[in-house]
Amino acid sequence: MNIPRTSFPRVVIIGGGFAGISLIKSLKNCELQVVLIDKNNYHTFQPLLYQVATGGLEPDSIAFPLRKVIKDIPNFYFRLADVLKIDSLKCEVETTIGNLKYDYLVIATGSNTNFFGNKNIEKFSMSMKDVPQSLNLRSLILENFEDALLTSNFEERNSLMNFVIVGGGPTGVELAGALAEMKKAILPKDYPDLDIRQMQINIVQGGDRLLKTMSLKASEKSEDFLIDLGVNIWKNVHVLDYDGKIVKTSTDLTFNASTVIWAAGVNGAKVDGLESDCIVERADRFKVNEYNLVKGYENIFAIGDVACMELLIFPLGHPMMAQPAIQQGKHLATNIIAKITNKPMKPFKYKDKGSMATIGRNKAVVDLKNWKFQGVFAWFVWMFVHLFSLIGFRNKAVVFFNWVYNYIRFDRETRLIIRPYKHKNKESF
Amino acid sequence: MNIPRTSFPRVVIIGGGFAGISLIKSLKNCELQVVLIDKNNYHTFQPLLYQVATGGLEPDSIAFPLRKVIKDIPNFYFRLADVLKIDSLKCEVETTIGNLKYDYLVIATGSNTNFFGNKNIEKFSMSMKDVPQSLNLRSLILENFEDALLTSNFEERNSLMNFVIVGGGPTGVELAGALAEMKKAILPKDYPDLDIRQMQINIVQGGDRLLKTMSLKASEKSEDFLIDLGVNIWKNVHVLDYDGKIVKTSTDLTFNASTVIWAAGVNGAKVDGLESDCIVERADRFKVNEYNLVKGYENIFAIGDVACMELLIFPLGHPMMAQPAIQQGKHLATNIIAKITNKPMKPFKYKDKGSMATIGRNKAVVDLKNWKFQGVFAWFVWMFVHLFSLIGFRNKAVVFFNWVYNYIRFDRETRLIIRPYKHKNKESF
């Protein structure tokens, strides 16, 4: 990989997501050599991918070049590569561009969509975990409407205009809301020769309420908001299968739909090579102790979604979302320094900053520790928090401008089929 | 295609480029049914594609949804399709989504890259005529630098950092300037472990000066600007072949380069089905009379790049650029109305508004009829004209913001490999 060995200890970080970036920023003044490896040359701000998929934001404004994150930091390197395997005996990472020795390894690979082993669903449904997937979804939505124009067959048109979102977490709820706003404000103008009332947006939730990790009030209010927007909510229903045409569920409910978006769960994006007993089978996450050390290893850490710190208050590990990742990244920086300087490491303590979800214009739900609120003010808080969490001034400014523009004009202008999905992937349909 | 016949005459327009859009806007208050067919659902502002390719602008801000152009105009339709053939006897257009009858047909298909029949060059070099091609080029440039990091072979690294631009027209000159600015301000920071001096930017021009359609002064000054920026200019040299590694030329000059960008000429994007004697063989453009009627036809027009109006002052037709296209589109609207109402049509008269090219920050050349100027003021004029020619307020605002940001920060932030080109198209390398 052409990275020179220096007298400084080498820390190799796999993954430039929230956890990896947060760690790197906190390490920047230390006497270390840091190598960041990622399969993309950019960081993705995943919480806003749904706005890319629905034409509200351009992908470039929620992504940020990883090289720019480490710019001007001496001894920090970036390499674009897929990691194939960890060889813990040799202290080496095997990648598509060669092997790399590490003194300390940090696994921050995040998570993948969890299809629970259903190959059909994996093949025919859409995910929304990265930029290309979101652009594929954006293309598919628009291509479906173009196709709906061309058919005189009522059933076929119904299917093309029927959207089934599986999973009632923040991703599912936010996407359902955004689709509903497209239905209301944009599609009737773009497709005046279609009866947009035919468009159906369904959200299917296994449990008995949406946003089940949030407060009861947040669930209720988000359901009210979605119903107001015309979204059909199906609770206590599990999707069992999808063949590209018919969605089968655990009840006698079926959907005839060309588009299924799978937002029903994630798995840790584990890396091969470590002992199997350090992995939580069910979730593909690495078991870590309170210092984020992977079980059984002394110089391999895991942080963020891929780490599972089983504590009394979090028996299944921390929730797989941005906040634990950011906090673990920051905290690990101090522990790495402690370890190198032979000082005692400090256990990680998660500070719950609350959670939130937006459903549409002026409609959001926010749960803080001592204050839960919904509606317009929650929506402003949601926007403010997301805007300031974005990396880079340019991104913040462009996103802010787009939001103001979209709000005033009731528009989402980036509805371009730049990478045709359906008509290039015909075999899957 | 599910488009109802009404009592209004039907005008079918193939292509939503400068010509097609300009025609549509001018037809919007007429008693006509208008059907716009395009292979993309968006209009592309081609003059700024080079900024997408070099990470200065996001693709979404130089593209505009075609459905939004015709939004709220009754009786105007858009269909996303490739046109296969024109059947002039049946007055029908054959497309990938079915056939469509027309009363009047307007061919506004623009132009394609002209490789002058060289299959090798077509296979191995990059073009920059549309958004996906520009994104491919952006990816390739960045992927080359990532690869250059990994090799210890000096020759290989040279080749990866060697860029050959064939053609010294505005596209070639603007791209060369943008690459030179990346070399100066961005790449040394992004790739501190590479010796960026190894990066070579070559512009190869068949004639004896760059920007040969502009004034001598503009040519001289643009060459000065490029030399200042460190670009190698090769004049009176023709590129004969490229096998993905070695560029062969008409002289003993050769280049060992992984990237060749072909900006050496365009052909009309002619459509099949019309008589062969209405086509200018050399250029694949349709011969049109002064009313833009295709030779031998009474209800088929051609406008923009694909139309060749052979006049005394333009024996080879108008230059293939935005201004003639926009003016012909606008003018044709009045002629179509005249024809329908049995009034005499008026011959098209081209009003030369001048031409311009930008080389880099504070560096542009502008030729107006009575005033030719270069430098900072020219650069402001260039920006102003391009900004105001963009369609849509949102696009204007986002582009403006990016330019200000890039100017102040010496940055180009959208350098993301969102659609990996090289590593997904390995067979071509």
Contact at CB, A418 and B42, closer than 8 angstroms: yes
Is there a single domain that holds both residue B242 and residue B294? Answer: no
Question: What residue type is B427 in one-letter code?
Answer: E
Percent share of chain A, pLDDT over 70: 98
Give the count of domains, chain A.
2
Contact at CB, B59 and A61, closer than 8 angstroms: no
Domain of residue A158, CATH code:
3.50.50.100
Q: Which residues contact A404 (CB under 8 A, 6 or more apart)?
A: none
pLDDT at res. A4: 92
Counted across chains A and B, CB pairs separated by less than 8 A come out at 143
Tens of pLDDT along chain B (429 residues) come to 889 999 999 999 999 999 999 999 999 989 999 999 999 999 999 999 999 999 999 999 899 999 999 988 999 999 999 999 999 999 999 999 999 999 999 999 999 999 999 999 999 999 999 999 999 999 999 999 999 999 999 999 999 999 999 999 999 999 999 999 999 999 999 999 899 999 999 999 999 999 999 999 999 999 999 999 999 999 999 999 999 999 999 999 999 999 999 999 999 999 999 999 999 988 999 999 999 999 999 999 999 999 999 999 999 999 999 999 999 999 999 999 999 999 999 999 999 999 999 999 999 999 998 999 999 999 999 999 999 999 888 889 889 988 888 888 888 878 888 877 776 654 333
Q: Tokens 């079980």 label which residue?
A: A295
Is there a single domain that holds both residue B127 and residue B260? Answer: yes
Q: What is the CA radius of gyration of chain A?
A: 22
Residue B52 lies in a domain: no
Residue A46 lies in a domain: no
Residue B177 falls in which region: left (phi positive, over 0), alpha (psi -120 to 50) or beta: alpha
Is there a single domain that holds both residue B152 and residue B178? Answer: yes
Q: Which residues of B touch A40 (CB under 8 A)?
A: 416-417
Q: Which residues of A touch B394 (CB under 8 A)?
A: 401-402, 405, 411, 413
Domain of residue A275, CATH code:
3.50.50.60
- Coil, helix or strand at residue A424: coil
Q: Tokens 């080389």 label which residue?
A: B359
Q: Catalytic pick from A122, A146, A155, A174?
A: A174
pLDDT at res. B391: 87
Contact at CB, A58 and B63, closer than 8 angstroms: no
Boundary (domain end) residue, out of B282, B312, B340? B340
Q: Known catalytic residue: A174?
A: yes
Is there a single domain that holds both residue B191 and residue B138? Answer: yes
Does the pLDDT at position A427 exceed 50?
Answer: no
Domain coverage including residue B180? 121-264+415-428
Question: Region A15-23: what's the mean pLDDT?
Answer: 97
Q: What is the ipTM of this complex?
A: 0.90
Is there a single domain that holds both residue B108 and residue B185? Answer: no
Minimum Cα–Cα distance from B43: chain A residue: A416
Mean pLDDT of chain A: 94
10 Å Cβ neighbour count for B125? Answer: 24
Write the CA distances from B388 to B73, B324, B352, B376, B383, integer angstroms: 23, 17, 18, 18, 8
Write the CA distances from A37 to A14, A15, B316, integer angstroms: 5, 6, 54
pLDDT at res. A408: 86
Q: Catalytic pick from B94, B143, B174, B223?
A: B174
**pLDDT-derived band at A422, boundaries 50, 70, 90:** confident
Residue A67 lies in a domain: no
Q: Which residues contact B11 (CB under 8 A, 6 or more apart)?
A: B27, B32, B33, B34, B35, B102, B103, B104, B105, B106, B336
Is there a single domain that holds both residue B243 and residue B192? Answer: yes
Residue A407 lies in a domain: yes
Question: Region A226-251: what's the mean pLDDT?
Answer: 97
Residue B388 lies in a domain: no
pLDDT at res. B218: 97
Q: Torsions phi, psi of A183, nearest 5?
A: -60, -40
Residue of B126, B106, B115 lying closest to B20 (CA atoms) = B106
Minimum Cα–Cα distance from B391: chain A residue: A413
Is there a single domain that holds both residue A396 and residue A317? Answer: no
pLDDT at res. B423: 67
The helix/strand count (H/E) of chain A reads as: 12, 25
10 Å Cβ neighbour count for A228? Answer: 12
Q: Which residues of B touch A398 (CB under 8 A)?
A: 58, 398, 401-402
Contact at CB, B190 and A68, closer than 8 angstroms: yes
Distance CA B127, CA B136 (A): 9
Residue A197 lies in a domain: yes
pLDDT at res. A424: 62
CA terminus-to-terminus distance, chain B: 41
Minimum Cα–Cα distance from B97: chain A residue: A150
Cβ proximity of B225 and B181 under 8 Å: no
Per-position b or e across A329-362, b if 16+ CB within 10 A of its CB: bbbbbebbbebbeeeebeebebeeebbbbbbbbe
Q: Which residues of A touch B141 (CB under 8 A)?
A: none
- Coil, helix or strand at residue A283: coil
- Coil, helix or strand at residue A364: strand
Is there a single domain that holds both residue B273 and residue B245? Answer: no
Q: Tokens 């079926």 label which residue?
A: A254
pLDDT at res. A55: 92
Q: Which residues of B touch A153 (CB under 8 A)?
A: none
Contact at CB, A146 and B98, closer than 8 angstroms: no
Contact at CB, A418 and B152, closer than 8 angstroms: no
Contact at CB, A394 and B413, closer than 8 angstroms: yes
pLDDT digits over A272-330, tens only?
A: 999 999 999 889 999 999 999 999 999 999 999 999 999 989 999 999 999 999 999 99
Is there a single domain that holds both residue B158 and residue B181? Answer: yes
Q: Shortest Cα distance from B150 to chain A (angstroms)?
A: 5
CA dihedral B142, B145, B146, B150 (to 10 degrees): 170
Residue A295 lies in a domain: yes
Q: What is the CA radius of gyration of chain B?
A: 22
Is there a single domain that holds both residue B145 and residue B223? Answer: yes
Is there a single domain that holds both residue A251 and residue A386? Answer: yes
Is there a single domain that holds both residue B99 and residue B16? Answer: yes
Own/partner contacts of B181-188, CB < 8 Å, gap of 24 or more, are: B181/B54, B181/B229, B181/B360, B181/B361, B181/B412, B182/B54, B182/B55, B182/B141, B182/B412, B183/B230, B184/B229, B184/B230, B185/B410, B185/B411, B186/B55, B186/B410, B186/B411, B186/B412, B186/B415, B187/B145
Boundary (domain end) residue, out of A287, A307, A340? A340
Residue B251 lies in a domain: yes
Boundary (domain end) residue, out of B320, B340, B360? B340
Does the pLDDT at position A426 exceed 60?
Answer: no
pLDDT digits over A365-404, tens only?
A: 999 989 999 999 999 999 999 999 998 888 898 899 988 8
Residue of A92, A159, A113, A25 lying closest to A300 (CA atoms) = A92
Write the CA distances from A286 to A116, A332, B283, B378, integer angstroms: 18, 16, 63, 59
Cβ proximity of B176 and B231 under 8 Å: yes
Question: What residue type is A272 in one-letter code?
Answer: D
pLDDT at res. B39: 95
Distance CA B219, CA A338 (A): 62
CA dihedral B38, B42, B45, B48 (to 10 degrees): -120
